Amino acid sequence: MKPLTALDSLDQATFVADYVQRNRPVVVRELDFDPARWTPAAFRADLGDLPVQVYDALFDLQEVATLADYLDRQFGHAGDYREGVPYVRWYNQLKGVDHAWGDEAFARLALRWRMPAFLPRQGLLVPARPQSDATVDAFPYRGILVSARGARTRMHRDPFCSDAVVAQFHGVKEVAMYHPSRADELAARRQDGSSFGGFLDVRGAELGRLAVEPDYHGFIRPGEVIYIPHGWLHDVIVVEDSISVTWNFVHERGSMEFIDYLMSGSESDSEFEVLRYFYRQSGYEFGSSRDIVKAFNQKFCELQELLEAQAA
């Protein structure tokens, strides 16, 4: 088990070449924000009236409540980890349905932080816009994560071969990461039918201990951003009441598996509808994964040739 690599700064070109293209995780201490405006008290005062999506330790919605209600019930519990602590995953709109989406909350927070400079705004296949900034633009699974001590995101991998980042504003999270090559070893007997996959609970009954040794392990603290490359399995538990922001993307320099995902026919994946929604928001209407491949065939071929040549 290795500690997560943590850097004080990182330029965008190095991040893309050394981490995105090589599919390597990293933590960067480069989050520009005002800590006083990212406390539970500030959130309760400024966002407490808004409805939030409250989930279990994976991604099953449990209820819709106000943020103030969640904070009052769940925050401030010291001592041993409690079982079954719910988790606010306040996503921006992901589908064309009415829901307690987090878009209004993101709008209220937009001036309170900046997207870290090392993260690319261009060269993205998802979202398919010329330029994207997570402070103001929607991304797949862009969410405000409000989670009490003991809340968990059980081991999973992110959908449709996308990369993820988590920016930590308040509190502390413990992160365990498992290499993509261990997916079969860690698969649960019963799969869940989505690209999140179905994997073992690596904590089991004793929440403070990992039953399966990870490849990387570490703690994410305020001001830090963790990059989680596609395919990496990861398990997260909240050590101190926490506020984070997360989002997913596919960069062209790390897109080989994403293209393979599309070419294999991915309509049976329950998360494919999220991908279709984001292409629709960018002006593309696709009925199937093969429609996406056809529309971007020339670009995908060029990317495959480039990435294969660089890997040789």
Taking every pair of Cα atoms in the chain, the longest distance, rounded to a whole number of angstroms, is 57
pLDDT for 191 equals 56
pLDDT of residue 165: 99
- What angle, rounded to 10 degrees, do the helices at 67-74 and 40-47 form? 150
Give the pLDDT band of residue 176 (cuts 50, 70, 90). Answer: very high
3-state secondary structure of 186: helix
| pLDDT over 80 at 279, yes or no | yes
pLDDT of 189 reads 66
pLDDT at 103 over 70: yes
pLDDT of residue 196: 58
| pLDDT single digits (tens) 281-306 | 999 999 999 999 999 888 888 888 88
Q: Are 85 and 149 in contact (CB under 8 A)?
A: yes
Q: Which domains, from first to last, does the chain contain?
A: 2-252 (2.60.120.650), 253-311 (no CATH)
Instruction: Report how far Cα 310 is from the mean position of its chain's Cα atoms.
Output: 27
DSSP classification of residue 187: B
**Distance (Å) of CA 144 to CA 110, 148, 292:** 12, 13, 29
Q: What is the model's pLDDT at position 194?
A: 53
pLDDT, tens digit, 9 for 90 and up, residues 179-197: 999 999 999 866 555 555 6
